[in-house]
């Protein structure tokens, strides 16, 4: 069983009377890769800064190993941060940047040399010791920022959108590298991002946030396959969200058709939101489909075509490897596990 390391209890954050975080309850396990995911302004960075000690919650507690650390200043926490724009020390070379924390904790010189060497090796930048910060590319600076934090062997590494400034290809490579580093050093990563794909790729646990509240906590698979509400469904991947009526347990009516589904406990004849992923709608001949519609637009996306299909009650977003021309009539089928039912939000 993994051990709990950090817990936020009823954390509320207000700036000038405006509530930025609304009673956040969250625990983070040791050696876990946890991602705070949400649109900008959802409170994810504030949550991270509370853990890092740069901000104190207006009310609520921050616990570390069970002890309250609200009033512990950042420099006394066993937590290190990788900042959004890296925040490297431009007056120091790479070696001194990484050695910064070790020098402050008065680690002997030969140990500093060894640990800086190891940290550089971990981020694949051995031999860069004497280079200046400004001579490095964004991706390299980013890795130095990670090395600078990790060399101190923190219990927790906080990462504030560390890949935000990199181009797509580099970002994908870094995602894999970060995950690898986390598994190698075996410490807790708390990662903040607004990029759902990044979150799905790296995390053990995803915390979806919006409007200062936690919307859902779960594994990437849970969050993707069983979104708790329309916001999560929409934010994680793309979704068709349509009004439906839950006739009874495991039976739902929407788009003029009654479908068997896997959900229950909504009561009888209850209005619900039905979520269907675009890749779960299967194209077939018009007469064979549960839903009929006409193709309105087609965009080639590389792996698949993305089509908007107009049915009498709803315009569906469909992703399929099969091409259908604009104006063509098509049928769409759904299996019970493609249908996700949520309470009306």
Partner 1 sequence: MKNKFLGIPYIIWMAIFVVVPMFLIVGYAFTTREGGFSTGNFSNMLSYAGVFGDSFLLAIIATLVCLLIGYPISYWMTREGPGVKRIALVVLMLPMWMNFLLRTYAWMSLLENTGILNELFSAIGLFKLINAVTGSNIDHFPMINTKGAVVLGMVYNYLPFMILPIYNVIDKIDARVIEAAQDLGANSANVFRRVIFPLSLPGVISGITMVFIPSVSTFAISKLLGGGKTLLLGDLIEMQFYGNSYNPYLGSAVSLVMMVIVLVCMAIMNRFGDGEETAVML
Site residues (CB under 8 A) for partner 1? 52, 54, 73-76, 79-81, 83-85, 87-92, 100-101, 103-105, 134, 148-149, 152
Tokens of 165: 């400034």
Which of 2/90 has CB closer to partner 1? 90
How far is 129 from 83, CA to CA, in rounded Å? 21
11 versus 156: smaller Cβ distance to partner 1: 156
Question: Which CB, 103 or 343, lies closer to partner 1?
Answer: 103
Helix, strand and coil percent figures for the chain, each rounded to 5: 30, 35, 35
Q: Supply the minimum distance, in Å, between the C-beta of residue 213 and partner 1.
A: 26
Of residues 44 and 148, the one with the C-beta less far from partner 1: 148
What tokens were used for 302? Answer: 């590389």
Write down the least CB distance from residue 78 to partner 1, Å.
10
- How does strand 205-210 pair with strand 213-218? antiparallel
Per-residue buried b or exposed e for 122-151, using 16+ beta carbons within 10 Å of the residue's own CB? bbebeebbeeebeebeebbbbbbbbbbbbb
Residues 6+ away with beta carbon under 8 Å from 90:
132, 133, 134
* 91, two tokens: 């007056």
Q: What angle do CA 183, 186, 191 make, to 5 degrees?
A: 75
Q: Least distance in Å: CB of 20 to partner 1?
A: 18
Say how far apart CA 253 and CA 293 lie, in whole Å: 17
For the CB of residue 104, give the shortest distance to partner 1 in the complex, in Å: 5
CB of 153 to partner 1, least distance (A): 12
C-beta of 11 vs 145, nearer to partner 1:
145
Q: Which is nearer to partner 1, 154 or 331 (CB)?
A: 154
In this complex, which beta carbon is closest to partner 1, that of residue 74 or of residue 127? 74
For residue 300, report the phi and psi dihedrals to the nearest 5 degrees.
-85, 125
Show Cβ contacts of residue 125 under 8 Å, excluding neighbours closer than 6 positions.
94, 140, 143, 144, 147
């Amino acid at each position: 069983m993994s051990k709990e390391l950090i817990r936020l209890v009823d954390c509320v954050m207000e700036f000038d009377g405006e509530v930025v975080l609304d009673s956040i309850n969250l625990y983070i396990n040791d050696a876990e890769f946890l991602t705070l995911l949400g649109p900008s302004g959802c409170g994810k960075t504030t949550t991270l800064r509370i853990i890092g000690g740069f901000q104190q919650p207006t009310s609520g507690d921050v616990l570390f190993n069970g002890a309250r650390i609200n009033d512990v200043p950042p420099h006394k926490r066993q937590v290190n941060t990788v900042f959004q724009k890296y925040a490297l020390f431009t007056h120091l070379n790479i070696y001194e940047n990484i050695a910064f924390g070790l020098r402050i904790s008065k680690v002997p010189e030969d140990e500093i040399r060894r640990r800086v060497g190891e940290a550089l090796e971990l981020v694949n930048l051995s031999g860069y010791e004497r280079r200046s910060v400004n001579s490095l590319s964004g991706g390299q600076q980013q890795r130095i920022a990670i090395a600078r934090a990790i060399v101190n062997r923190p219990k927790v590494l906080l990462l504030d959108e560390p890949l935000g400034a990199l181009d797509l290809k580099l970002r994908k490579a870094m995602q894999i590298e970060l995950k690898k580093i986390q598994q190698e050093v075996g410490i807790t990563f708390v990662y903040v991002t607004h990029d759902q794909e990044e979150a799905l790729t790296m995390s053990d646990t995803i915390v979806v946030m919006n409007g200062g509240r936690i919307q859902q906590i779960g594994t990437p698979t849970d969050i993707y396959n069983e979104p708790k509400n329309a916001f999560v469904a929409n934010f994680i991947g793309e979704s068709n969200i349509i009004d439906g009526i839950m006739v009874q347990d495991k039976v739902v009516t929407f788009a003029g058709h009654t479908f068997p589904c896997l959900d229950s406990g909504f009561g009888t004849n209850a209005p619900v939101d039905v979520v269907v992923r675009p890749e779960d709608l299967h194209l077939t001949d018009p007469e064979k489909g549960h839903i009929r519609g006409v193709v309105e637009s087609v965009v080639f996306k590389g792996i698949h075509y993305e089509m908007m299909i107009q049915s009498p009650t709803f315009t569906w977003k469909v992703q399929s490897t099969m091409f259908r021309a604009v104006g063509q009539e098509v049928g769409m089928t759904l299996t019970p596990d493609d249908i996700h039912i949520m309470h009306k939000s």
